[in-house]
Amino acid sequence: MNEKKLSLDEWHIMKSQALKALEKFSQSQVLVVGDIGIDEYVKGEVKRISPEAPVPVLNVEQTESRLGLAANVAQNITSLGGSCELVSVVGEDKSALDLKKIFNECGIEKLSLVVDDSRPTTKKTRVIHEAHHIVRIDYEKKEFISPAIEKQVFQSFESKIEQASVVVIEDYNKGIFTENLIQKIIKKSKEVGKLVLVDPHETTPLSFYKGADIITPNTQESFALLNISRDSILDKSITPLLLAQKMMKELGSERMIITQGKDGVSIFENNQWLQLPTLAKQVYDVTGAGDTVIATLALGLSSGLSLPESCLLANYAAGLVVAKVGSVPCSLEDLRASLAEQK
Catalytic residues: 291
**Phi, then psi, of 193 in degrees rounded to 5:** 75, 35
Q: Is 47 exposed, middle or buried (0-12, 13-18, 19+ CB in 10 A)?
A: exposed
- Tell me the C-alpha distance between 217 and 342, whole Å: 26
- Tell me the C-alpha distance between 40 and 12, whole Å: 40
Radius of gyration from C-alpha coordinates of the chain: 20
DSSP 144: P
Strands 56-69 and 36-49: antiparallel
* Cα angle 324, 325, 329; round to 5: 60
- Tell me the C-alpha distance between 244 and 8, whole Å: 26
Strands in 201-264 per DSSP E: 214-215, 256-259
Sign (positive/negative) of CA torsion 79, 85, 90, 92? Answer: positive
DSSP 173: S
